[in-house]
Structure 1
């Protein structure tokens, strides 16, 4: 046994069950209610419908069986009545004076016998058997005195009484002692039971009316169609196959005339010969039949009907279809009502959820009023009170954050002022050592202008034009320091001049361009350019240099807070202040390759955002 495969199958089954449980648990409340209602109604309706179907099936089968048995009994009684009517012709035969004269005559010569035959054919038969042509196929009387009388019999030699006495038909009739016998035998009794087609025959010993003198053997051969007419329409609506079989299991009458005189199926024969009447389910040649039969007390014949099980179940299937239609209609109504009821139950909750989402999206003025006093109504009132409290708390938090942000901005800006002052004073100190007094004066003037713009009358905001002017003063200071090792250019759209922005965002980036780009150049003259352009709803300040450039690692490093060199007061400081002032969508973006220079873009809002 493959235990590993069994283990995998169990694991897969457990995983499927887990996923199904998770799916059900994650359904929305409305859907859970709908599923619960529908399942409850479907299972209840299905159970009731299935039990009803089984009971109905049992009742229909029982009723059909009872109806078939009653029909068979009535049909057999009609057939027996017809056969008894044929049997009653015997009385007319023995009461006929002409028949008495012919069958009691002695010394009968062939000529006399022929005259009797003509008289029987022309005069006696029409009187006794007239109007029976649809019932009787032929009539034959083998007289004990040698007179043989027949009507509609095939030509045959004129047998002697001793020859007739040797036949099995005669022996059976003699054993009956004058009682009629219904046989299924050959018209020609001399041919033997196993030769040629057989016919339905009423056979008996003819006895004189008063003297009981033996007149001989009388045979009345009945047409099979006369019997068939009695049951040909029997249960035709159920496609039944009906026939009559004799006690030997030979088919006496059948809709299919080619089956006459043939034996019934062994399985059927074993069934019908075992008891006088009954029913059973039999499967023949791939088809299942419900077999019903009854035995005639008069003839001993079996009236058999075989009904395809599918025909019996046709009415049951119709009933089943009706039940399924009712079931489908019930399920449909159940779904409709379940949706309506669950929607009504969950409508206040869904309305409350919509308002919760509005609050989540920032609409703190959203209020929900369900207009009910039940649990959902109480919940909505509690929700309204909670949103009011949250709104007040958010307002307080925002005010606190604003104050913290302003303090952080002031702290970051304060880092820049002494940094520039330290560097410039250091430069002036060395210039005094070399007695460059004109340059000292120029640098002192530029430094004063630089700090005048830095102080900005105590305001934390400035304009793009003043910020560029501030950067220009810084570049002038650095040109004096680096002895014209670089030059610079400034371009600004007129539309951006008066756009407000936070101060000290250009100078640190320009400083980085000089320190990390221009200062490291050995032979070439450096160049720094500043541009201010509008891009949609934003302002882009671009600083370009033709310095030594940087790789991606250096760019990432220059924006790190942990730097302790002068650049630590530069790019990171500006980036943080821009994020604090405008949000994460604004800030600095570097583009640089080693040996290709560096481009820095500072993006700020294009309106009155500050």
Structure 2
């Protein structure tokens, strides 16, 4: 690794402490925001639901309170319409201003006063005869003109049971009426006026100061409405019809303002109650709670940030120490400071590994210095020994020259072959060479060996294609095999020895077969030949036998390349070499 890369690794733009701090801060911020938002939304929904529950309960209680009063008035209606004095008075022929009429008026008013005694929610009770007689107790004033009013017509049409009419004017009230019958014929009406103050007090439901509540009867007339309404009557009637007293609570935008709408319908009167609560006023409390939550969240975040800064500093303290040590080593100082990292966590393990690495680096540097010194000494020795191969070549040339002078051709041939063979072995440092050169080494080796034996040795080389001679093979790949054939096969036989080499191409491979007519080998001898240890295969020239050649080929090119051996006792031995076909290109560096 380059020094610049190491510097970037040791001194990153953002430190681990900074990353830990930022990561913890972001996670904390997201957590606080999430929790605060959830709490705020939950409390907002809770306040909204509480308002709905409160308004719904208040409306229900108001309806129940009104229903109790109306039921009580219904019972009073029954008392009046069944009273014989009332019936006799309405059937009487006495006319105003007679004495009898005054007596009748006194009796009925006393009766009506007794009926509504201690009932402040009833502002007036009246008995109106169809003949024109009108008797009442309470206010406002009532006279014969009431008979021709729409209210009277409505009560007569619907007064067989109970009828309710909203009377407006100088004094608003709810009029309940019931028809008075005699012999199945209507003779008059009894009316009870429910006090408008009682209705206002009953429906004064205000969860917020600007809330509005409306009560609408079945004729789309207001029974109750606030004194000041920010919404027109048409909109209220439309909303009342849409909700139809379903008891639902919905949010609507009215005049560009959000409202919470709560509706309920009375089963007794059939009146629909509609409450409108402005969301802004309803959620004023949630705004205050939200502000408090934000303040608390900010304080908590600041505390956590400070704590995170301290914790990240403590966590990365050993990392900073290790970085300082690495810088120290990077500057070329391979002695670590005396202060060690004692933690047992990953940083401590990393420090121990770094410490061992520095120790190993010191050891390697010492070894390199020793190797360099030895290399320098070896180079001096090589320089001193350079003259030796040249001296050997010159000596052999001298022997060859003397043999020629004395007419000894055998010595000349042996000297030439030895010179050629040694030039190839000592003078060529490449691992690969052409097949033609390798065959020349084999010829030189056989020329030397044939003078050692009584019987002659013949070398036959058969090549299917001359182009194969240009292919590159491993140096000294054939010589050990030919040497093995001569020494172990032909040398011990009693007839002329023949070594045949056949070279051919098959399946894009270079195939070389070396066959001798020696005594052959058994299966055990063949296996022993391949299992022999390196340097102990019986070769006398190069120190490499058949097994060495096989391992060199397999190591470079893998299976199925290598050496195969076939033999038969007292017949022959054949060695086959499978080698990749490497034609036309210099492959001298393949083994590097």
If the length of structure 1 is used for normalisation, what is the TM-score?
0.48
What TM-score comes out, normalization by structure 2 length? Answer: 0.49
